[in-house]
Amino acid sequence: MIQEEKEPIISLRGIVKSYGSAEATTYALRGVDLDIKQGEFVAIMGPSGSGKSTVMNIIGGLDTFNSGEYNFGGVDIGSLSLDQKTLLRRNYIGFIFQGFNLLGKTTAIENVELPLLYRGFSAHDRSEMAMNALRSVGLEKVSHHTPGQLSGGQQQRVAIARAIVTDPFILLADEPTGNLDTVKGKEIMELLSSFNKEKGLTIVMVTHEDEMAAYASRIIRFRDGKIDNSVHTKIVQ
C-alpha cells in the first residue's frame, strides 16, 4: 500500500533577508528553500551568523523577510498584517527559548496559564489546562513553586508546558538546552522527542550541539545564509 505524502506545514521559497542598503547590505538569508512536514522533528544547525536563528524567527513570525514566499498551513505569511501575525503566533505556534523567559514572581502554573489568558479562557479552564500541561512534563507537584524555587531543568519544563498548553500546530525551540548541563539537556530532549513521537507534534529546533540534534528526525545545516547541501542530512524514516 502506498502511503500518502504529507503536505508541508511550512514552505519557504527563495527567502531573502538583508540588512542595510547599497554597499552596506548584509545578507542573513540568501534565497532559502525549505519544506517542513507535519509531524517532523527538524534540527537546524550552523555556525554563528549562518542564518539559522534568522530562519527560525521568520518561521515564527518574529521577523520579516525582504523577498520570497512563506506559506504556513496554507496561509501566505507575507500578506499578513502585524496583528494577524500576532494571532498566528498566539493560536498556532509554541515557543521555547534558551533563557526560559518565565515570570519570576509568578508560580509555575501561572506562567503556563499566561497564553490561555491572552486567548480568553476562563479561570477554571486555564487552571485545568495548565495543570494538565505541567502533568505532561512531570511537574504537577511543584505547580505552585516560583521559578526561583526550581532547577534549570524544571524551569525549562515549565517553559515547555507553557509552549504546548494551547495545543499548537508547531513548536519552535531556540537552543532549548543551551543553559542546561548535559544530563538535564538530555532529559529535555527526551521529553521533546516523546511529544514528537507520541503526540505527532511538529518541532523545529535550533541548536549548536550535535548530541542534541541527534534526537531530531532530520538535520538541516546552514552556512553563509544558505542551506549547506554539501553536508549529508540525517533522515529517519
Mean pLDDT in order along the chain per 10 residues (237 residues): 65 95 88 95 94 94 95 93 92 90 93 92 95 94 95 93 94 92 93 94 95 95 90 52
d(CA 143, CA 145): 6
pLDDT of residue 231: 58
Per-residue model confidence (pLDDT) at position 22: 77
**What are the structural domains of the chain?**
8-102+166-227 (3.40.50.300)
Note the pLDDT of residue 66. 94
Q: Which residues of 131-148 are buried (b: 16+ CB within 10 A; e: fewer)?
A: bebbebbebeebbebbbe
Residue 92 burial class via C-beta count within 10 angstroms: exposed 0-12, middle 13-18, buried 19 and up: middle
Neighbouring CB atoms inside 10 A of 48's CB total 7
What is the 8-class DSSP label of residue 20? Answer: S
Q: What is d(CA 99, CA 105) in angstroms, rounded to the nearest whole number?
A: 16
Cα three-residue angle 158-57-183, rounded to 5 degrees: 40
Question: What is the rounded distance in angstroms from the CA atom of residue 157 to the CA atom of residue 145?
Answer: 13
pTM as predicted: 0.89
